[in-house]
Amino acid sequence: MDSEAVASFYNERVNDKTERRTSRILRMRNFNNWVKAVLIQLHTRPNYSVLDLACGKGGDLLKWDSAGVTLYVGCDIARVSLEQAIERYQNMRKVKFDAMFLHGDCFSARVERYLSDEAMFDVVSSQFAIHYAFENEKRVRRLLENVSSRLKPGGFFIGTTPDANVLIRKLRAVEGLEFGNSIFNMAFDGPDKYFPRDKSPWGIRYRFTLDENVMDTPEFLVHFPTFQKIAAEYDLELRLLMNFHQFYLEFIKVPEFLEIYERLKVVGQHGITYDEWDAIFLYTAFVFQKRGGSPDPGLDRSDIEPIEKPEETLIHEMEDEDD
């Protein structure tokens, strides 16, 4: 199963900070972090609670802390990544939120079964992950069930994912079923790259390599019109769908987001390379809002006090479900 291959890949990755600082795609990584930071700041208020589906190593924990959340639940299929996320959480100083971590496939397990009855969330986030659900309709519906079942009315489901429109446009511009540049490569399963209208939107697989970060990993094309249509069945309405290039042009004009961009040193000394900018073009940002209410106004930031973290943060195991 492809999800097992993905879990194995992320479990085997080494958490090497020195390697990250010298990475050829450092500026792209910083740009992606900027996009996520903007999405979080736009849709989060102090005292919010967040469910982070496919949280990985907890790379967004500081972003959530900066936004003033008071409850964080992270879920991921790779246990090693969760252990690193917990280490990152325990090493944070003056943290203001409680954290809980769930190990399992959030596109197969029912997350709500592992939460308290009163646990509801203002924001659900899934960054660079929903394409793994598009293996089949069942997995996409489980994802949306996990989002909607505990998302407050008026709350937001935010995320990032490969932009299928860009991927197919690039695929059709080349001979064969493979394209890329010096830092990324995409190889689609054949043989038909024109995807007729009567073709199923599920299970359109490609293998993706991104420098040293992602190595020949199976992913699935996200047919967003289908995703939007099914999301509506779960009371989720699309509010934003924007390619990363457009996202940059829209939000770099906002002073506070420009300040984050500069603080993250996205451009660096030599600027973003053409190949990095081309790889950035592969992604899109999205925001859904749950029907039936308005976002909670939150609290004043000064009202959010640091908490006393427990000495040990446990990982709770989830089980895949067939129904």
State the alpha helices, DSSP H only, in the chain. Answer: 2-12, 17-21, 26-43, 61-67, 79-91, 137-149, 164-172, 224-233, 244-251, 255-263, 274-280
Residue 103 DSSP SS3: strand
- Quote the CA–CA distance of 38 and 58 in Å, as a whole number: 17
Of 122, 126, 124, 104, nearest in space to 113 by CA: 104
- Quote the CA–CA distance of 190 and 204 in Å, as a whole number: 9
Tokens of 238: 């699309």
Tokens of 154: 């008026």
Asked whether residue 132 is marked as a ligand-binding residue, the answer is yes
Asked whether residue 127 is marked as a ligand-binding residue, the answer is yes
Asked whether residue 54 is marked as a ligand-binding residue, the answer is yes
Distances (CA, A) of 277 to 21, 26, 117, 274, 298: 18, 12, 44, 5, 36
Asked whether residue 16 is marked as a ligand-binding residue, the answer is no
Distances (CA, A) of 132 to 106, 107, 143, 178: 10, 8, 10, 19
Asked whether residue 198 is marked as a ligand-binding residue, the answer is no
Using the CB atoms, write b or e for 196-231: b if 16+ within 10 Å. Answer: eeeeebbebebbbbbbebbeebbbbbbbbeebeebb
Asked whether residue 15 is marked as a ligand-binding residue, the answer is no
Asked whether residue 33 is marked as a ligand-binding residue, the answer is yes
Asked whether residue 11 is marked as a ligand-binding residue, the answer is no
Contact status, residue 315 vs residue 279, Cβ threshold 8 Å: no
Using the CB atoms, write b or e for 78-109: b if 16+ within 10 Å. Answer: bbbbbbbbbebbeebeebbbbbbbbbbbbbbb
Tokens of 83: 């252990």
Give the pairing of strands 98-103 and 214-220.
unpaired
Phi/psi-derived region of residue 70, left when phi > 0, alpha when psi is between -120 and 50, beta in every other case: alpha
Feature table: binding site: 32-33, 36, 54, 76, 105, 127, 132
Feature table: binding site for mRNA: 32-33
Feature table: binding site for S-adenosyl-L-methionine: 36, 54, 76, 105, 127, 132
